[in-house]
A and B are shown apart, each in its own frame.
Chain A
């Protein structure tokens, strides 16, 4: 849920209005919760490790709201038993199919209900999708039903992936829930991944977000056209480093506990088509829709008309998954149109003209983000009229805004652009050479992040903002 994800931008700061939940870029999490959980996890004997994981996950979620935690716990227990009704062991049950349909429908209904009746429990979209995936896999006999309620509960609550994914399949985690891996290598490597993710989030996403906020402070109608384009690309960077950073932190923390969570972002902005982009952006969500909606509907094997229809279903649902609001529907539909056009003819041509493909992607995806970012539909129109100032010249536009803000945000924007390339991440996480330098850089990044979080979290009025 990127909506919840955008809230993270303010997450640390908004704590002054009452902490809604514990998040990774939070000093209490980094210096108290995580070390305690790790020490307990590594010290207790094998058979108690799941208890430690479950307990720490419940505490982690409980920081947000206890009624939501209770609700999720009840939901998990209900799903545990309901899955039993249609598992492989019950293959002869004549109502197996109906039981399965009913269970999945109940989960979907709960999700929809919460989507329409805020406050939405944190992470419920991710949580529900993982449970549905598990149930479909069990129903198809791809995996056996989990017999242990402890293991099942630990899986659904597992705190590294609880709030914002990655959306796992049960078989990606189940082995490690049975035989826990406690290796120093994982601890170190996981922490390194965590530091990279934390830096993306704190040093890039949170800083760049100031530029995007500036646009609504000025008011869209008064933003100059260059500023509108700059703001759009700034948001493009911000969203990536926010979500990718968060996913890396999740993967890193998971790794420290011995779990191999799937990758969520594979340098998506390096794609040459929208279809490719969405295999590399929030990949675990795309994979979910592919495996559990698109392919069961026939995928692209039942003729072109059916393929287009399937794409329409998938992308409308993807839009709605992000929030039951018109702008998300429009966003999903815009992607459907682009991907359908690519499927019909454009993709072949783009593949043979990669440079055009890159330019096309870096124009089109940011434009679709503008549908995504503005939950108020009327402001979308104003924003596009500033991007393409053919209809109106705007109100009270100051042409200097571009140079003024562009200049002050240039260091972050340039660093962000550099980190879009795979090399920096590869250097920090993927090489065995220059280990001393890597450790030194990551250590510096970590402490700079800590200072930065501390500055924005401590007394909001001591830190001058306006």
Chain B
């Protein structure tokens, strides 16, 4: 044994550590055998206890709500005129209207790497951003992550300055975690929390972005059936007064409920040149 230790120190050290690790894992799984299952159960229970506080049946803003809100600045009318008459008429029917880029000067965009890309390539430079690659809804307040450039958590960001609009784009990272109801409940909690920190802001919930057909094929997690399930849950969080649901997927839809194949290099993120599709959609859907 001693001779072996002398001749094979690295092998010995590795074996000893591996045995210790293995022993720890075994002891842990014997001592707390149900640890994993418990977590599962919690996820399951959640589904039945969805709080109804922020949930409302109306998903798109009504005409009344849209017209009563006068958020737009002088320039917005001008830019409104530039849009195709047909499409803006449609927008009016759904309660949304077009605004110019000035609209976003007091807006905060909150999200994961998709928002990061939107910040870099969406062409909306006067807005504020809070993004963190890999961000999930559970990491806004419960296990807070910080923005890469400011170093602040979302709570700190929201306490620091007053925002007129808050755009949220989250949900693809956690698409495999928890049930749809569990996710929506946490999303709802996050909206409530943001509301308490920014009572006057309009909150826009952006739909989770579709993935491309090639990404979705053979995927049990990252597929558009899952995305749609969660999106229909998110829709219910809108109240038509100051929480609105934006179906940004319609800007990148290939007609079959997927992201256009050529819009993405990895099936999830938009290529830089396609981010303006999202900003145009958002500009055309303001209240």
Which of A's residues lie within 8 Å of B, judged by CB? 17, 31, 184-185, 187-188, 191-192, 195, 213, 216-219, 221-223, 395-398, 400-401, 404, 408, 435, 439, 442-443, 446-447, 459-462, 464-466
Contact B175 A461 (CB under 8 A): yes
Tell me which residues across on chain B come within 8 A of A219, comparing CB atoms: 265, 271-274
The residue on A at minimum CB distance from B218 is A17
Query: Once the chains bind, are A464 and B135 in contact (CB under 8 Å)?
Result: yes
Residues of chain B within 8 A of A396, CB atoms compared? 121, 123, 272-273, 275-276
Bound-complex Cα distance A442 to B134 (A):
31
Tell me whether A31 and B18 are in contact (CB under 8 A): yes
Among B174-189, those with CB < 8 Å from A are 174-177
Are B17 and A443 within 8 A (Cβ)? yes
**CB neighbours of B283 from chain A (8 A):** none
Q: Are B120 and A404 in contact (CB under 8 A)?
A: yes
Taking the complex as formed, is B260 at the interface, i.e. its CB lies under 8 A from any CB of chain A?
A: no
Measured as residues with beta carbon below 8 angstroms from the partner, the interface class of chain B is 35 or more
- Complex alpha-carbon distance, A460 and B174, angstroms: 10
Asked if A195 meets B18 with Cβ closer than 8 Å, knowing A395-B272, A462-B177, A466-B114, the reply is no
Please measure, in the bound complex, the distance between the C-alpha atom of A195 and the C-alpha atom of B264, giving whole angstroms: 37
Residues of B close to A185: CB separation below 8 A: 7
Residues of A close to B219: CB separation below 8 A: 17
Q: What are the residues of chain A within 8 A of B272 when measuring CB–CB?
A: 218-219, 221-223, 395-398
* Residues in B neighbouring A195, C-beta threshold 8 A: 10
The answer to whether B134 and A465 have CB atoms under 8 Å apart is: yes
Of A217, A395, A446, which is within 8 A of B269 by CB?
A217
At the interface, yes or no: B113 with Cβ under 8 Å from chain A? yes
Closest CB pairs A-B (n = 9): A461-B176, A464-B134, A219-B271, A222-B272, A216-B265, A188-B8, A184-B7, A464-B173, A396-B273
A395 lies within 8 A of B273 (CB): yes
CB proximity of B287 to chain A, nearest CB, Å? 28
Q: Is the interface of B mostly helix, strand, loop or mixed?
A: helix
| B172, CB-defined interface residue at 8 Å | yes
Question: A400, B10: Cβ atoms under 8 Å?
Answer: no
A-B contacts, 7 of them at CB < 8 A, read A17-B219, A184-B4, A191-B14, A221-B272, A439-B10, A443-B13, A446-B14
CB of A222 within 8 A of CB of B176, answer: no
B265 and A217: CB pair below 8 A? yes
Q: Beyond A222-B273, A466-B133: 7 further Cβ-contacts under 8 Å?
A: A185-B7, A192-B10, A218-B272, A395-B273, A396-B272, A464-B133, A464-B136
Cβ-closest chain A residue relative to B276: A396
Whether B197 is near chain A, meaning CB under 8 Å from some CB there, is no
* B9 nearest in chain A by CB position: A439
Are A435 and B9 in contact, with the CB atoms below 8 A?
Answer: yes
Taken together as a complex, chains A and B put the C-alpha atoms of A27 and B265 apart, in Å, by: 30
Contact status B173-A465, CB under 8 Å: yes
CB contacts (< 8 Å) of A443 on chain B: these are: 10, 13-14, 17
CB neighbours of A397 from chain B (8 A): 272
Counting CB contacts under 8 A, is B11 at the interface?
yes
B146-179 contact mask (Cβ, 8 Å, vs A): 1 or 0: 0010000000000000000000000011111100
Residue with the greatest number of chain B CB neighbours at <10 A, chosen from A195, A443, A465: A465
Complex contact B11–A217 (CB within 8 A): no
Does B200 lie at the interface of the complex (its beta carbon under 8 Å from any beta carbon of A)? no
Task: Give every chain A residue within 8 A of B274 (Cβ-Cβ).
Answer: 219
- For B218, what are the chain A residues with a Cβ–Cβ distance below 8 Å? 17
Give B254 Cβ to nearest chain A Cβ, in Å. Answer: 17
| Alpha-carbon distance between A192 and B117 when the two chains are bound, in angstroms | 42
| Residues of the B chain whose Cβ atoms lie less than 8 Å from the Cβ of A17 | 218-219
Contact with A along B237-273 (1 / 0, CB 8 A): 0000000000000000000000000001110110111
Q: Is the CB of A221 within 8 A of B273?
A: yes
Bound Cα distance from A240 to B269, whole angstroms: 27
Q: How far is the CB of B212 from chain A (nearest CB, A)?
A: 12
